Amino acid sequence: MKRSRVFARAFALASKRTFAFGALLVMLVAVSARGDTGDPGAEADADDPGPKTLEALVESVRSGSATRRARLAERERRFVAARDERATLLREIEQRRRAAEAEADRLRARFEQGEQELAALETQLDENAGDLREVFNVVRQTSGDILPTVQNSLVSAQFPGRAALVEKLSRSDSVPTASELRALWLLLLDEMNHSGKVSRFQTRVISADGTEAERRVTRVGTFAALSEGDYLRYLPESGNLLVLPRQPAGISSEAIVAFEAGEAAISSVALDPSRGSILSLIVQAPDLRERIEQGGIIGYIILLIGLVGLLLAGARFVSTVLAQRSMRVALASDSAEGGHAIAQLRAVSRDPDYRQDADALSAKLDEIVMVSAERLRRGLPALAIFAAVSPLLGLLGTVTGMIETFQVITLFGAGDPRLMSGGISQALITTQLGLSVAIPLLLIHSFLQGRVDTLITRLDEAAAELFAAGRARGQKV
């Protein structure tokens, strides 16, 4: 009985706790439902203390669940509407894609059909053209071959604009017309005709200082253009005639003027068979002064040494010739008077003081010969030094020029040979100048040395004869 009461109390207590836990759970669900609704009225009801009783709590939970179901239904309705809208848009896009693919297939088929028609037309064109295509290729090739000739021809200076047709035919991919073929034929005939004529015409000529003036020009075929005694060069880039800055050597301007005036029935004038190439090379070729300037300061030093050497050689040549004449006169006479070495040798050999002493006589005679030989050899060592130093200076100029060339290559590279021409010119010109000075000086030195050696040999022979004659007189006494 007692145990039954204990169990009854425990069951009642557990029931009360279960009911209290259920009521607390319902309140938490109601509060969570209010927070999820986001209803603006929730903030207004924030001050509401909530249900007071369990029935009010249950009613509040029931009404909150209904509101939430309504909102969920509204969200579901909007989602279904958006899904239906996107499905409709997808169907429209699929229809457009299928239409675009159909249009692409149609255009692809049309393109292939056009390609087939084009190939058929090209085949028909080839069949209809036949041998004419070869003729057109020959015309295009011929136009390309004669284009430089027409552009650089002196006839174009008299008749400008002749090269336009040839240039068009050489670059055109279309079939030339009959009128163009006839014009090309006539142009070739005119070129041949004018190449054998001497014509005069007025045109603007650029002078050497760059000024332009109207001049009367005489054209000798396609080989030369003359004006007021000057040779002219044709510039195909501008179509003007230019006075050569340097006229060809050996041709006087008076002869050119006389040829232009036609004063004689037959006149001679120099022509350029290369149609201007030789004249251009003549203009570019440096003269003697320019070549010396290319040698630089070393070249001027070599020329100075050569000039001094030539003056010295001339002076020694004159001195040697005079010495030969005076020796010839002294040997022909028997006089012991005068300042010549032969007279001095005779005077010593006849001196009684030297007759008795052979050593003194020999020493005195040798002294006179040595002094005369020294006088005859004067200047020859310097001439030999000049002949030896000149090629060494040329070698120095070569090394200097090569150093300058390598410096230019270091700074600007080896792409433009004109940048290196200065150093190479100095290297070659100085070597040429050094050899040009050394070889004549060496030959002149050898020639003078031989003449001087001959004179000294004659003095030695004369001294030996006089020594023997003096000793003979001394022994008789």
End-to-end alpha carbon distance in the chain? 206
Which pLDDT band, with edges at 50, 70 and 90, does 108 fall under? very high
**Domain boundaries, given as residue ranges, for the chain:** 1-37+50-129, 132-195, 201-282, 294-476
**Size of the chain, expressed as the number of residues it contains:** 477
Between residues 30 and 92, the one the model is more confident about: 92
The model's pLDDT over 96-107, given as tens digits with 9 standing for 90+, comes to 999 999 999 999
pLDDT above 90 (res 307): yes
Between residues 28 and 419, the one the model is more confident about: 419
pLDDT above 60 (res 15): no
pLDDT above 60 (res 474): no
CA–chain centroid gap for 61, Å, is 98
Other beta carbons within 10 angstroms of residue 172's beta carbon come to 14
Name the residue type at position 392: L
What's the confidence (pLDDT) of residue 339?
Answer: 61
Nearest to 235 by CA among 279, 266, 190: 279
Q: What percent of the chain has pLDDT over 90?
A: 10
Mean pLDDT in residue range 436-447: 91
